Amino acid sequence: MKLHAFVAMPFGTKPDTYGKPTDFDLIYSSLIKPALELAGLDIIRADEEKGAGDILVDMFQELLMADLVLVDLTADNPNVWYELGVRHALRSRGVVLVNGPRASKPFDIYTNRKYTYALSNGAPDPARLETDIRKIAEMTRATLAEWHGNPISPVYSLLPNLVEPDWKTLRIGKAREFWANYDDWAALIERARKAGHPEDILVLADEAPVTALRVEARLKAGKALLKGRHFNFALEQLELACAFDPANVDAARQHGVCLQRLGRLDDARAIYKKILAEHPSDVETWSLLGRLDKDTWVEAWNRKDSSAEQKRDDAGYEDALLLMAIDSYATAYRHAPGHYYSGINAVTLMHLYRDLTGKPRFDAEAASMAGGIAWAAACQQDESELFWAKATLGDLSILQGDPLAVGSAYKAAIACADKDWFALDSTLSQLRLLAAIGFAPDTVAAGIATFERALARLQPPEQEWQPEKVFLFSGHMIDTPGRKEARFPADKEAIAAAAIDKALADLGASDKDLALTQGASGGDLLFAEACIARNIKVQLLLPLPEPDFIEQSILPADGGEVWRKRYYTLRDNPLCQPPRVMPEVLGPLPKDSEGKEMNPFERCNLWLLYSTLAKGIARTRFLCLWNGGGGDGPGGTEHMMKEVKKRTGQVTWLDTRKMW
């Protein structure tokens, strides 16, 4: 979806500041709307004028949420001035001012950047119209590009410590349609997050009508991709979220986490340091920095080819790295004494420092912190966090040197784990790190034995199947009977099928791969059939409910009944996973401000693209049977080709113009 603009201006014919009648409806339709469309925006303008003090609810919502508000100040209209003031009060940026000739310049906005367009007899001057459209479009693009520069609003310019309100806290109850649509959209996002489908979130993110929603969706998609260990594609989403909203601390933190997972430790550290420079008391960022410092220290000594003695010696030698981790975790805990996660990490590392170096530097501090950590962990009320709280008490028992207490504390934690294999294994892994350098051997051994016994009772979770390669296909349907300009005639089916099969062979397709396509007659089904013949799993994504899809994308083809039977044969093959149906998964088609629905087939192509990339960028292969025609907008074959090519270059184009 395009970014969203709201236009605040008079309606009908009104006098300008010279008293001359001016046709503002014509100015809107022939100048302002074309300029904003040229800048790539979706536009809305209130459809009636109200008296001062009677601002429409939906108009107020637009002033809050719109990515850009264009204000026409040609006439001294009180409603327009009021709307400009509301926008300046709620948002620091995202305003473009335009006007025709004026008798005077308003003092309060004298220094604001604005554009003066030409009028002739109360209407846009035909001699300047093209230039004015281009200039307003350029100013609009520049304003959006400088979204996070200096504030445009005089309110935020003069009050530099004033913080914009969170848009969710300004939910206008009577703006029912906007918030009902938001609630439906957010519910679909949450369902996709819980189901582990970041590709669904990404489609919905593209359809968010305003930047605030895009940040929210990109952030959730990035987190879901992080969880699935698809770090490169996660990084794209988190960078977009940060670009949309550089002040979003959560997005910046997750950006750092992703860089850390990619091994870009210096870049991750720089992000954490930047956050802390602006938010020096942010406990979560201090804790993340502590994790990075700890990982750096562990990496320095925990080498596979090292003996136990060598690991211990190296761990003590790298005391400078250990001190950095202690400082980060301890700083986090000082800022939030209830944050027992950072506290237990700080105290454990302090004990390790004493054990490895023999220096009592942190003995007193560690002893005083231990009581606070125990109290904070014991106060945990959130059931979803009880395991970690009680495991923290077990960690304290390790440090206190009582093997019996260790077993009792960890068994209490395990009882709250709800058979979470990953949680138990995570704690066990940390204990094994301690064992690797010979720390507190009796208590650590007691902890390891407790968790190994608990894990022995659980079935390890099956690893989710991951394909070696993921093939994305887009191709022409078989021509309908009597089509004037042939594109994929039915008698060329054998040629296409052979070309697709050869392309799969050349790409090394095997039963370890996955294929995605829509399933229409012609290219889609030929590709899917070729994949099934190679024992490749196939996932169909349907843009419409299956009966409607068959009606529109299979039956119209030359030989439609035969193609329908082939579709059912494919769909019922054990290698073909149950089709995902777009309206059921992603909800209704989004509409622009004029009520025009998005093309369902283009939306489905975007869904296919994101579904493929979400399986891993390096795994992605794009194969198309295409004549090079059509537009290059989102969802077209050319767009899909460009998106894959810029990431991997793994594109195979079967150009039908050269095939028949």
Beta strands in 323-481 (DSSP E): 470-475
Is residue 49's pLDDT more than 50?
A: no
In the block, tokens 């489908």 appear at 197
**Paired strand residues for 119:** 124
Average pLDDT, the chain: 91
Report the pLDDT value the prediction gives residue 173, as an integer from 0 to 100.
58
Tokens of 367: 């002893």
Residue 579 has phi, psi (to 5 degrees) of: -60, 140
**Rounded mean pLDDT, 260-284:** 96
- Per-residue pLDDT tens over the stretch 485-512: 889 999 999 999 999 999 999 999 999 9
Alpha carbons 345 and 284: distance in angstroms, whole number: 13
Q: How far apart are CA 105 and CA 116, in angstroms?
A: 11
Q: Token digits for 595?
A: 């009520």
- Quote the strand ranges of 59-145, DSSP E: 68-72, 95-99, 114-116, 119-120, 123-124
- In 437-581, which residue ranges form alpha helices assigned H by DSSP? 441-456, 493-506, 523-533, 546-553, 560-571
Whole-model pTM over 0.85: no
Residue range 204-219, pLDDT digits in tens? 988 886 777 788 888 9
Q: How far apart are CA 166 and CA 278, in angstroms?
A: 18
Residue 328 CA: distances (Å) to CA of 280, 290, 319, 325, 391: 12, 5, 14, 5, 21
Distance CA 612, CA 605 (A): 11
Q: Where are the domains of the chain?
A: 3-162, 380-464, 470-658
Class of domain 3-162: alpha beta
Query: Which residues, 6 or more positions from 99, have their beta carbon under 8 angstroms from its beta carbon?
Result: 72, 73, 74, 114, 115, 116, 117
CA distance 8 to 74: 11
591 DSSP assignment: B
Q: Compute the average pLDDT of residues 48-54.
A: 44
Contact 139, 113 (CB under 8 A): yes
3-state class (DSSP) for residue 511? coil
Q: Which CATH class is domain 470-658?
A: alpha beta
Q: In this structure, are residues 290 and 342 in contact, taking their beta carbons and an 8 Å threshold?
A: yes
Q: Where are the alpha helices (DSSP H) in 23-77?
A: 24-27, 33-38, 57-65
Query: What residues does 72 pair with on adjacent strands?
Result: 98
First to last CA, the chain: 37
pLDDT at 231 over 80: yes
Fold: same for 3-162 and 470-658: yes
Of 565-569, 570-574, 636-640, the range with the lowest mean pLDDT is 636-640
User: Helix, strand or coil for residue 653?
Assistant: strand
pLDDT of 111 above 60:
no
Is pLDDT above 70 for 33? yes
Per-residue pLDDT tens digits for 115-167: 999 999 999 999 999 999 999 999 999 988 876 667 888 898 888 888 888 77
In this structure, what token pair is assigned to residue 451? Answer: 């968790």
Query: What residues have CB less than 8 Å from 485, skipping those under 6 apart?
Result: none
Most confident of the following: 63-67, 177-181, 469-473: 469-473
